[in-house]
Chain A
Amino acid sequence: MHELSIALNMVDIAAETARKNGGGRVETLYMKLGMLSGVAKDALLFSWELACADTALEGSRLVIEEIPVVVRCSVCEADGKLASINKLVCPACNSSISAIVKGKELEITALEIV
């Protein structure tokens, strides 16, 4: 389980961003979490309070937007959303894929500061 260390990274980034943007208390942190990021949503939420303890983020809320995996088909060239992350083929025509377009995100998108 590496979600706690991920959460600690996020707390650092958020605290620094808040400081650079005129200070204040971070109330909410919004993030995008891809289904192929290797980070589990529940474990990250579970780690959040612990990671924030005794920091500028204490008492903040973590809002996670889960991003499904989107692949590009090598044959029909369409982008399609996958129902499951362990079958990487075009969901429309079952052909091989040429790229993973979305689903690896692990990024902070916004902070709500008061």
Chain B
Amino acid sequence: MNTPRLVQVRENVLKRNDVLARDLRRRFRAAGVFVVSLVSSPGAGKTEFLEKTLAALAQDFRVAALVGDLATDNDADRLARSGAPVKQIVTGTVCHLEAAMVENALEDWDLEKLDFLFIENVGNLVCPSSYDLGEELRLVLMSVTEGEDKPLKYPTIFNTADVAVITKTDIAEAVEFDLAKASDSIQSVRPGMMIFEVSAKKDAGMSDWIDWLREKVSASKAEEIFENETAASAA
């Protein structure tokens, strides 16, 4: 019988996804498309929020969306009403999107013709946290009906996200939602996180988010130009 031998490995389990996501990020940046992903529990209002966001941006930008669901094209149909190109990714039994699914979905799209791409993940506050999709910005949404301690219950997803959006604020009072408490929960798991409070349905707070996003994009474009010029002058 052979003696057991120990082989040192040190390999990230999600390396394949991470490598693909890095490639995607490089492609997105090269094409000048700013990619935002959205995660939340089912029913937090991702699609409504996205529909209004697409409509607001479509006035000045070329926008598109990918939307992940276990089944149905319903969300894609809803989002298509904004006039933006939308593609549904039906994951079947898979509870999250992976970089490979995004890559496949983009196969016949010309990224050069886009300024913004939104990726709506499957409604799930657990599994999507592990998978980098190549996005520039990850939004986590929670609605006022979910309870102020939601971030404390799902710290990992809040921790991997860049921006929090509290949705359905028009019914906050009716459900006795405590905004200060929710903000504390968010800051506790992701110190310094930017928070937007919106009601997409009543168009409250949406312009703050849109203005912030516009600014963010022009800042990142300026940075890219600066980096390119620096690289060019160094060459």
Segment with Cβ contacts to A, from B50-58, B148-156, B207-215: B148-156
- CB of B192 closer than 8 Å to a CB of A: yes
A-B contact count (CB 8 A): 102
Q: Is A101 an interface residue, CB under 8 A from the partner?
A: no
Chain A residue contacts of B202, Cβ below 8 A: none
Complex contact B130–A114 (CB within 8 A): no
Tell me which residues across on chain A come within 8 A of B189, comparing CB atoms: 85-88
Of the candidates A38, A87, A88, the one whose C-beta lies within 8 Å of that of B127 is A38
Stretch of B7-15, B68-76, B171-179 lying at the A interface = B7-15
Q: Does A10 contact B (CB under 8 A)?
A: yes
Q: Are the CB atoms of A110 and B4 closer together than 8 Å?
A: no
- Chain A proximity of B189: nearest CB distance (Å): 5
In this assembly, does A67 line the interface, its C-beta being within 8 Å of a C-beta of chain B?
no
Is the pair A6, B10 in contact by a Cβ cutoff of 8 Å? Answer: no
Chain A residue with minimal CB distance to B130? A38
Closest chain A residue, CB of each to CB of B191: A96
B157 at interface by CB-CB < 8 Å = yes
The closest CB in chain B to the CB of A36 belongs to: B156
Q: Does B6 contact A (CB under 8 A)?
A: yes
Contact residues on B (Cβ < 8 Å of other chain), bracket: 35 or more
Contact (Cβ within 8 A) A109 B9: yes
Q: Which of A17-41 contact B (CB under 8 A)?
A: 17-18, 21, 24, 27, 31, 36-39
Query: What are 28 A-B interface contacts by the 8 Å CB criterion?
Result: A2-B94, A2-B126, A2-B130, A6-B14, A6-B130, A9-B13, A10-B13, A13-B11, A13-B13, A17-B11, A21-B7, A24-B2, A36-B155, A36-B159, A85-B156, A86-B151, A86-B188, A87-B189, A88-B189, A89-B191, A96-B192, A106-B14, A106-B130, A107-B11, A110-B6, A110-B8, A114-B2, A114-B3
Q: Which of B7, B129, B151, B152 has the most CB of A within 10 A?
A: B7
A6–B190 CB distance below 8 A: no
The smallest C-beta distance from A6 to any residue of chain B, in angstroms, reads 6
Interface size on A, residues (CB 8 A): 34
1/0 contact trace for B142-172 toward A, CB 8 Å? 0000000001110111011000000000000
**CA of A9 to CA of B100, assembled, Å:** 14
B contact face: mostly helix, strand, loop, or mixed: mixed
A residues 59-114 touching B (CB-CB < 8 Å):
85-89, 96-97, 100, 106-114
The residues of A that contact B11 with a CB separation of less than 8 Å are 13, 17, 107-108
Bound form: Cα–Cα A1–B8 in Å? 29
CB-CB under 8 A for A2 and B127, given A86-B152, A88-B191: yes
Compute how far the CA of A18 lies from the CA of B6 in the bound complex, rounded to whole angstroms.
10
Residue of B nearest to A87 (CB): B188
State which of B12, B16, B129, B191 has its C-beta within 8 Å of the C-beta of A38. Answer: B129
Chain A residues with CB below 8 A from B156, complex form: 36-38, 85
| Complex Cα gap A37–B18 (Å) | 14
Q: Given contacts A6-B13, A10-B13, A109-B8, could you give 4 more A-B pairs where the C-beta distance is less than 8 Å? A: A85-B155, A86-B155, A88-B188, A106-B14
Contacts A38-B130, A111-B6, A111-B7; A106 near B188 (Cβ below 8 A): no
